[in-house]
Amino acid sequence: MTMAKRDTYTPESLLAVAVEVFIERGYDGTSMEHLSRAAGISKSSIYHHVRSKEELLRLAISRALDGLFAILREPGACRGRAIDRLEHVTRRTADVLMAELPYVTLLLRVRGNTDTERWAMERRREFDHQVRQLLERAAADGDLRDDVDLGLATRLLFGMINSIVEWYRPHGRGATDREQVADAVVRMAFSGLRTT
Amino acid sequence: MTMAKRDTYTPESLLAVAVEVFIERGYDGTSMEHLSRAAGISKSSIYHHVRSKEELLRLAISRALDGLFAILREPGACRGRAIDRLEHVTRRTADVLMAELPYVTLLLRVRGNTDTERWAMERRREFDHQVRQLLERAAADGDLRDDVDLGLATRLLFGMINSIVEWYRPHGRGATDREQVADAVVRMAFSGLRTT
């Protein structure tokens, strides 16, 4: 039993609490009761902000997806050689992942049976597909090595970027700078670690 | 209620069933009852093979760790320039991950409070640490680019390798060849995707 506090939540601050609980317990394992306890307000106060647990998930996932899809409309993603656009998208995807860490973490973990989860997975595949098309254009330009299958390259590139959620923490001692991490991803993926 | 079948399990075949259940339900979420149902034999038959659920976890994790640590004793990991040893270890780590897919998947997912889980995490850190030392030696030899922090490079390298568990499936149509995947990891990580 937790003392209910006065509901001073905005939709954004309530969402931030909900996302932490979803990540910790899994979306399926989270009840409105868990959300109420974590937020310190009653369930009916939560229903004052959102209609359902699934709406909270949709809002959280939208925030991640909006951040990611906005990258594809940036000038650096639309102009110039495909290889440079691909590098830009790689750098910015890593950057958005770190800037919107809990939201992107949730997006990456969603596997499920609700409409919202299916929609999230579908949109994530669409993003991957658009990046894959950039790899195809860069390969057609002769700017991409031809001894790595493009499907594999796309998977490994996202594998490297997405693995950042496993260890990156924005605050605290020894926190690594976002720019430094994004630079490292781009250097390793496009130029490789070897100097010799 | 499932009809119990005759217990024809070997320790290995029982372990294979248990690992699938651990991956699907999570180790904490798996009871002896779940294991009994998945194996189609009684709980007492399972206790004939192992003392506890935790012993099954220890056996499964040991199989993954034995495969990984054996790499570090291979000639390719012990002789020659550090950068070449590092490439060998990278290739073979990807290869062992695919060859022992469910066991390594379980190792990567373990986060927990039992002695066995703590031991698994400790051994995994030790493996990462030994690879990190190879990066340090390669850097000291001047064979590794000096504009990527070694800790970051280690994390991203393992991030790329470990992400293979998310999509690699050894059987079925369009199954990707293990060697092709391991080659792609080494090419991307050490030489990069760019040709220009």
Q: Residue A158 in contact with residue B155, Cβ under 8 Å?
A: no
Query: Quick one: tokens of B7?
Result: 């217990």
> Binning pLDDT at 50, 70 and 90, where does residue A8 land?
confident
Closest CA–CA distance from residue B79 to any residue of chain A (Å):
18
A149: nearest CA partner in chain B: B184
Average pLDDT score, chain B: 93
**Continuous segment of H or E residues that includes residue A135:** helix A115-140
- Chain A hits for B194, CB-CB cut-off 8 Å, are 83, 143-145, 190-191
pLDDT exceeds 60 at position B91 = yes
* Sequential DSSP letters for A166-179: GT--SSSTTPPPHH
pLDDT exceeds 80 at position B170 = yes
pLDDT in tens, A82-109: 999 999 999 999 999 999 999 999 999 9
Write the residue in B144, B158, B167 that is nearest to A193 by C-beta: B144
**Continuous segment of H or E residues that includes residue B54:** helix B53-71
- Chain A hits for B187, CB-CB cut-off 8 Å, are 145, 147-148, 192
pLDDT exceeds 70 at position A57 = yes
pLDDT exceeds 80 at position B15 = yes
Q: How many CA atoms lie within 13 A of A180 on its CB side?
A: 13
Question: Cβ contact (<8 Å) for B83 and A153?
Answer: no
Taking Cα atoms as reference points, which of A108, A101, A189 lies closest to residue B166?
A108
Distance CA A160, CA B162 (A): 9
Write the residue in B160, B166, B180 that is nearest to A149 by C-beta: B180
**A interface test, pick of B25, B156, B196 with most A CB neighbours within 10 Å:** B156
Percent of chain A with pLDDT over 90: 86
Query: ∠A24-A26-A32 over CA atoms, to 5°?
Result: 90
pLDDT exceeds 70 at position B161 = yes
Q: Residue A120 in contact with residue A61, Cβ under 8 Å?
A: yes
A175: nearest CA partner in chain B: B152
Q: Which pLDDT value is given to residue A111?
A: 85
Phi, psi angles (nearest 5°) of residue A194:
-75, 145
Query: Most confidently modeled of A48-52, A112-116, B76-80?
Result: B76-80
Question: Cβ contact (<8 Å) for B191 and A192?
Answer: yes
Q: Which pLDDT value is given to residue A172?
A: 64
Question: Cβ contact (<8 Å) for B192 and A196?
Answer: no
Query: Quick one: tokens of B190?
Result: 């050490």
Q: Residue A35 in contact with residue A94, Cβ under 8 Å?
A: no
* A80 contact partners, CB below 8 Å, separation of at least 6: none
Taking Cα atoms as reference points, which of B180, B189, B129 lies closest to residue B157?
B189
> Binning pLDDT at 50, 70 and 90, where does residue A163 land?
very high
Amino acid making up residue B162 = N
Distance CA A134, CA A16 (A): 33
* B188 contact partners, CB below 8 Å, separation of at least 6: A148, A153, A156, A157, A189, A192, B160
Phi, psi angles (nearest 5°) of residue B144:
-120, 135
What domains does chain A contain, in order, with CATH numbers?
11-50 (1.10.10.60), 61-191 (1.10.357.10)
Q: Which pLDDT value is given to residue A187?
A: 97
- Chain A hits for B185, CB-CB cut-off 8 Å, are 156
- Chain B hits for A163, CB-CB cut-off 8 Å, are 155-156, 158-160, 162-163
Q: Return the SS3 of A156.
A: helix
Distance CA A98, CA A105 (A): 9
What ipTM does this complex have?
Answer: 0.92
Question: Cβ contact (<8 Å) for A176 and B152?
Answer: yes
Closest CA–CA distance from residue A129 to any residue of chain B (Å):
15
pLDDT exceeds 70 at position A27 = yes
Distance CA B135, CA B120 (A): 23
B144 forms beta bridges with: A194
Closest CA–CA distance from residue B100 to any residue of chain A (Å):
19
Burial A55-88 (b: 16+ CB within 10 A, else e): ebbbbbbbbbbebbeebbeeeebeeeebbbbbbb
